[in-house]
Amino acid sequence: MVLRVQSLFGDERGPSLGQKLREVNWGLVALLTLIACVGFVMQYSAAGGNWEPWASRQILRFGFGVVLLVAVAVIELKFWYRIAYVLYGVGLALLMAVEIMGTVGMGAQRWVDLGIVQLQPSEVMKVALTLVLARYFHGILPEEIGRLRVVVPPLLLVLPPVALVLKQPDLGTAVMLLLSAAAVCFIAGVRIWKFVLAIAATLVALPLTWQYALHDYQRNRVLTFLDPERDPLGTGYHITQSKIALGSGGLFGRGYLQGTQSHLSFLPEHRTDFIFTMLAEELGMVGGICLLGLYLLVLAYGAGIALRSRNQFGRLLAFGVTTTFFIYVFVNIAMVMGMVPVVGIPLPLVSYGGTSMMTLLVAFGLVLCVYVHRDFTFNRRAALAA
């Protein structure tokens, strides 16, 4: 059976490349670029008013990432449907490769050296997992979604990468994978009681997890979150300095390039995990709210694109990417404010990092692909036969 669809362009052959490029939601691309520019400016400040070594690299990565974003957006949506499991398998293989040939950084083994670039497979898995779950639930009929057996395959897809990421160890990314997967399942229509059951099982397992699964530094992070003053010069130092920097920024900030906590090296990881703190210190609460406003606009665009998709795969894919984006923004900002434990989650498009930026842009390329093909409809068998 060959897939034949009536597209928004009025013919069954599908749109040309030029038509697809015109259909790309360039407003969303502009928003992502604007957020990335905030990141460039803050990386310049983090280096003491110098483009090297961080800002210039970040700009080059973003430029290459935008090319990837557009390329992903104009590829047929059903192509991504077909290769979802292949990409998941590649991501899982890369995570296993970390155990064999991974490189160590900051006390954890999370990267694979590919010669020209160091790749963090857990970032790749974030996109692959959303893709494969969107494909799985696309093939589930609405009347079947309430059955218990329907959630077994997603669990089998989620648990292996989560276990491999935990072994690196990277608790923060493992939790993000779980939350992203849960979001796709919830949007697909999985019943609330199943989530309640999963949460209850997690709570029951917490004592064992605390005793046998968490490393000493991870337990210290949780204890520091509960009581930051228990070790102010040790495990509590980072979050204490972050709060000082946030408070010293006031309403309008100390001024660009004038932050004391970051430039005097009191603020840890100011170019990555704690970059929002540096922004708030230099540009104040007003600057922080402006950045949050840009993030909210991206979330609105993503949700709007998902709602306009006429096929379930595109709808779940767009919602999944957008929800994952929201989780990362929320956790990073809550982390630097001391509202959640410090788990090493970057601020999307602003924190310094190559793999995280590339995977995020590819993910939004998939969202734009959903938008370009928003009026295409296909069922599971038709997509595979086309």
* Residue 225: partners with Cβ closer than 8 Å, 6 or more residues away: 239, 338, 340, 341, 342
d(CA 340, CA 342): 7
Q: Are the C-beta atoms of residues 77 and 369 closer than 8 Å to each other?
A: yes
d(CA 17, CA 90): 28
Q: Any alpha helices (H) in the chain, and if so which ranges?
A: 17-23, 26-46, 55-74, 77-82, 84-101, 121-138, 152-167, 171-188, 192-208, 216-226, 237-249, 260-263, 275-308, 312-336, 354-372, 380-385
Q: Of the candidates 165, 155, 163, which has an alpha carbon nearest to the alpha carbon of residue 122?
A: 165
Bridge partners of 105?
Answer: 108
- Residue 196: per-residue pLDDT: 86
- Residue 81: per-residue pLDDT: 94
Tally of CB atoms within 10 A around 209 = 11
- Residue 7: per-residue pLDDT: 42
Q: Of the candidates 197, 105, 184, 94, which has an alpha carbon nearest to the alpha carbon of residue 145?
A: 184
- Residue 208: per-residue pLDDT: 78
Tokens describing residue 165: 């990421």
Bridge partners of 103?
Answer: 111
Q: Give SS3 for 255.
A: coil
- Digits of tens for pLDDT over the chain (386 positions)? 333 344 444 444 567 888 888 899 999 999 999 999 999 999 999 888 899 889 999 999 999 999 999 999 999 999 999 999 999 999 999 898 887 776 655 555 566 766 666 778 888 899 999 999 999 999 888 778 878 888 899 999 999 999 888 887 788 888 899 999 999 999 998 888 888 888 888 878 777 777 776 777 777 777 777 766 666 666 677 788 888 888 888 899 999 988 887 777 777 777 888 899 999 999 999 999 999 999 999 999 999 999 999 999 999 999 999 999 999 999 999 988 888 888 778 999 999 988 889 999 999 999 999 999 998 876 655 554 54
